[in-house]
Amino acid sequence: MAITWTDAPQERAQVNGTALEYACWGPSPDQAPTLVLLHEGLGSVAQWKDVPQALTDATGFGVFAYSRAGYGASDPVSLPRPLDYMTREAEDNLGAVMDAAGIKQAVLLGHSDGATIATLFAGSVSDMRVRGLILIAPHFFAEADGLAAIRAAGKDFVEGDLRSKLAKYHANVDVAFRGWHDAWTDPAFANWNVADAIDHLRIPVLAIQGRDDPYGTLAQIDEIETRIYSPVETLILDGCGHAPHLEQADATLAEISEFCARLWRLEQQEVAFA
């Protein structure tokens, strides 16, 4: 189903037999490039808050966000999630979502799990629509401290108020949480590593990380800088945790805006030269 470009859609998009919640901001794909937002492991469309509008205001790009299956108001999924659920999302679903949205030229902007999915897509799927990546708090391999933080979140979900907080955003809150938490805390996930996707990137990348992120260290950013063959820029934010776009919105937005402006100047030069 082709979507209607609106920030208040009346229907969900049907993609691969699944109904997905979505929203759009700013110019449509036939008028401007599109920032495609890929949420974190406990995220949804609504949890981007005012970020999408700020992005379109700052960049002039359209912005498209959707809740992956199992999140927000999208259809639920069967549990447990497979441990390679991020790879499957990249290879099986993201391209089809962009097809439904009518995306023509895109920058993928992913947060946490979403950043990993963006990298996996760009590193494994030949899709000329995608011209750049913005990776916020990406992870490519499991780290002991990050796994400990996820186990702590599991305790808070059962004993604290995390479940009630998430229930505001997810129609199937137990599916959303358990699908993420139980995959990451599976003993086999300690060996999870998809960093080889970085080796295959051939488009510009902006990587943003909070220095105090409990779910991932700067080793994740070092992995990008060590392995990548395409241009990469980084922004490391002091006094910032897992969500730079919310915790230090101004600095994050400014960096994203400059990256998009430089990227599209380069795109226009290449088109003119061709």
pTM of the model: 0.96
User: Which is more confidently placed, 14 or 269?
Assistant: 14
Tens digit of each residue's pLDDT (9 = 90 or more) over 32-86: 999 999 999 999 999 999 999 999 999 999 999 999 999 999 999 999 999 999 9
Q: Say what the pLDDT of residue 18 is.
A: 97
Q: Which amino acid is at 230?
A: S
- Residue 1: what pLDDT? 54
Q: Are 158 and 173 in contact (CB under 8 A)?
A: no
DSSP-derived secondary structure for 113-168: HHHHHHHHHHHHS--TTEEEEEEES--SB--HHHHHHHHHHHHHHHHSSHHHHHHT
Q: With both helix axes pointing from N to C terminus, report the angle between 249-273 and 51-59 in degrees, rounded to the nearest 10.
A: 40
- Mind listing the pLDDT tens digit for each residue in 105-128? 999 999 999 999 999 999 999 999
The 10 Å Cβ neighbour count of residue 262 is 15
Task: For the chain, list the domains and their CATH numbers.
Answer: 13-273 (3.40.50.1820)
Terminal alpha carbon distance of the chain:
34
Structure tokens at 207: 């990587």
User: Given this model, what pLDDT does residue 273 score?
Assistant: 42
**Residue closest to 35 by CA, chosen among 12, 15, 14, 59:** 59
Residue 80 has a CB neighbour count (10 Å cut-off) of 12
pLDDT of residue 38: 98
From the list 126, 140, 134, the residue with the least C-alpha distance to 232 is 134
Buried b / exposed e along 116-144 (16+ C-beta atoms within 10 A): bbbbbbbbeeeeebbbbbbbbbbbbeeee
How far apart are the C-alpha atoms of 103 and 35, rounded to whole Å? 9
Instruction: Beginning with the edge strand found earlier in the chain, give each strand of the sheet holding 22-25 in spatial order.
Output: 22-25, 62-66, 34-38, 106-111, 130-136, 205-210, 232-237
